[in-house]
A = this chain, B = another copy of it.
Amino acid sequence: MNTGELVEIGQQLRVDSIRAAAAASSGHPTSSMSAADLMAVLFARHFRYDFDRPDHPANDRFVLSKGHASPLMYATYKAVGAIDDEELLTFRENGSRLEGHPTPRRLPWVETATGSLGQGLPVGVGIALAGKRSAHDDHRVWVLCGDSELAEGSIWEAAEQAAHEHLDNLTAIVDVNRLGQRGPTRHGHDLDAYARRFQAFGWHTVEVDGHDVDAVDRAYGEALSTRGQPTAILARTLKGKGVEAVQDREGLHGKPLPEADEAIAELGGLRDLRIRVAQPAADGTPPVPHTGRLELPRWDKGEEVATRNAFGEALTALGAARGDVVVLDGEVGDSTRAEAFAKEHPERYFECYIAEQQMVAAAVGMATRGRVPYAATFAAFLTRAHDFIRMASVSGSGINLVGSHAGVAIGQDGPSQMGLEDLAMMRAVHGSTVLYPCDANQTARLVAAMADLDGIRYLRTSRGASPVIYGPDEEFPVGGSKVLRSSGSDRLTLVAAGVTVPEALAAAEALAGEDIAVRVIDLYSVKPVDRETLRTAAEETGCLMTVEDHHPEGGLGDAVAEAFADGRPVPRLVRLGVRTMPGSASPDEQLHAAGIDAESIAAAARLLVGEAIVP
């Protein structure tokens, strides 16, 4: 395809972007028009992809980090023949595959959902990293970024990891169109400002006129020939390029063009040109990770083991059995115990340093390449990546997150290190699974089970040692629970998980000495929750008391309440949880101060069986 044809393709992409937005009466055509030439040259000249086989292992990957430029993406799909014009004009309709922001839930050629800015490049780094660390993965990753989104710190976490890992298979194309949503960006058309930043982080940079297709072509060539470091192409463009009424003007973000027909005429009218995308370079044999027999670690009842330790050991065993398991950690592997995996399987361990957003993004990227990632840090610090976790669920991504140091039980380190909101955060993620084991054998089983679930899987682990209460052959289905103590005369059910399980058992024992029989349920599967067992307990005991090392909102108490939120009769309910801001203190002092230790549980239970209100 020659220069003139590339120019024509660019115009077609603009026209089709305008048409799609006009049909929808919404969308971002001006943000699409600035990048049209960049896309035309990339897809016509450099991108290698089999649109009939999105799962081809040697396909290049494209990520639209500026996800609002979806009209451009869909116009490109039309130009390559992946969708037809009729579908293009369904943009943003109810049921259309062409959503306001592209997602892989609907379209097989989309790697990751975007639309929350600053996330596409971080995920692209994960995809490229998976490629670099595998002999079978011969692909390049191209990410189209906006200039506004470079203000997100996550971009610089990504830049740091990409350069550190020498990802010369990664190219960031920055559409520097000068205008953000509400006006000029910080740096306007100062390409040097961006180049200095990328260079400082170790990237090769190329500055280019983003509307000069030959120059853009040369820039891509330079990226392809750069070795040992990723390349950022900084392209000077004009928002709304090609249509005088909107070009380079403020106040036109996210709006269809006011006079679409005139604009299309100004761009030379409709075209039906076709881009022939090059096929992937390598053959299409997918890599087959090794599989072997899983031999999980085993502990004897009565041993004292921290669930974080059990996590580390179980993960290492899982890694031995499955070659597709990879592990990422936020520079706390000695605390989360992910370092156990690192020692045995260093080639599948990714040190992400203290950059939790990038850690989760890299996991999402690796999952697109068939990896089964486990990403671990302190539960408290996973909140740093909340928006990435949310977007991973929009993607339908399958990743495992592990949060250690949950709750006040960590002790002296104080509230900054305590995960007290993580259950609420993870439960509210659509389609998530939330697991909170209380002993080592249970942890090991759940670590293995979560690998094959759909969606976002979360495992919460604890810092301190706790008694092993289950045998190594006990099974723990996701969505299940364990009734640890019950009788026909139970007057109350204690529902606990994690560190509160031993406390609840001790409370039950103390109460038994006072002839108060209580049931104890270990609700290790916080989501999905075992409605049946909870409902039986409600019918048989009449009241449920949840005990959690978490703030009272959104956690275990809510999970139990939701089991009765369908109109059926509801038992009496009590929530014990962390209602104050903790300080430093020993773990035992912390549990007592929060009112979730055995003594506090027993005291609340006495009130409840006396049919009093629990303050």
Report which A residues bind B (CB closer than 8 A). Answer: 24, 26-27, 67, 92-96, 98-101, 103, 105-106, 113-118, 148-149, 151-157, 160, 164, 180-182, 185-186, 196-197, 199-201, 331-335, 339, 353-358, 380-381, 383-384, 386-387, 390-391, 393-394, 396, 411-417, 420-421, 424-425, 427-431, 527, 543, 551-555, 557-559, 561-562, 564-575, 580-581, 583-586, 589, 593, 607-608, 611-615
Contact = CB atoms under 8 A, between A and B. Distances in A.
A42 to B, nearest CB: 23
A193 to B, nearest CB: 8
B386 A331 contact: no
Given A95-B583, A566-B614, A197 B186 contact: no
B152 A115 contact: no
12 contacts: A26-B411, A92-B412, A115-B417, A116-B384, A153-B153, A180-B354, A181-B332, A383-B386, A391-B416, A431-B581, A557-B561, A567-B574
A429 B420 CA distance: 9
Nearest to A557: B565
A543 B558 contact: no
Given A94-B584, A101-B417, 10 more contacts: A100-B412, A180-B353, A181-B332, A199-B200, A386-B386, A553-B554, A557-B561, A561-B573, A567-B608, A570-B573
Contacts of A94: 583-586, 589, 593
A572 B581 contact: no
Contacts of A333: 182
B584 A425 contact: no
Contacts of A113: 415-416
A153 B152 contact: yes
B186 A416 contact: no
A392 B430 CA distance: 26
- In the A-B complex, the 7 residue pairs with the closest CB atoms: A153-B153, A115-B416, A554-B554, A94-B585, A424-B428, A561-B561, A200-B200
Contacts of A411: 26
A354 B152 contact: yes
B153 A358 contact: yes
Contacts of A394: 415-416, 581
A417 B100 contact: yes
Contacts of A559: 553
A333 B251 CA distance: 12
A570 B568 contact: no
A553 B427 contact: yes
A393 B567 CA distance: 36
A425 to B, nearest CB: 6
B100 A584 contact: yes
Question: For the complex, would chain A's binding face be called helix, strand, loop or mixed by DSSP majority?
Answer: loop
Nearest to A201: B197
A534 to B, nearest CB: 14
Contact of A186 (B160, B200, B390): B160
A566 B197 contact: no
Nearest to A543: B567
A585 B93 contact: yes
Which of A383, A552, A585 is the most central at the interface, judged by chain B CB atoms within 10 Å of its CB?
Answer: A383
Given A116-B384, A153-B358, A570-B571, A421 B431 contact: no
A426 to B, nearest CB: 9
Contacts of A562: 552-553, 557-558, 561, 575
A558 B554 contact: yes
B584 A574 contact: no
Given A186-B164, A383-B390, A572-B570, A429 B425 contact: no
A559 B200 CA distance: 48
Nearest to A146: B354
Contacts of A160: 151, 186
A561 to B, nearest CB: 4
Contact of A180 (B331, B429, B607): B331
A384 B149 CA distance: 13
Contacts of A355: 151-153
A551 B24 contact: no
B153 A551 contact: no
Contacts of A428: 420-421, 424-425, 551, 553-555
Contacts of A387: 356, 380-381, 383-384, 386
A282 to B, nearest CB: 32
Nearest to A117: B354
Contact of A584 (B96, B151, B185): B96
A433 to B, nearest CB: 13
A180 B164 CA distance: 16
Contacts of A105: 581
B584 A99 contact: yes
A92, A414, A557, A572, most chain B CB atoms within 10 A: A414
B186 A414 contact: no
Contacts of A614: 566-567
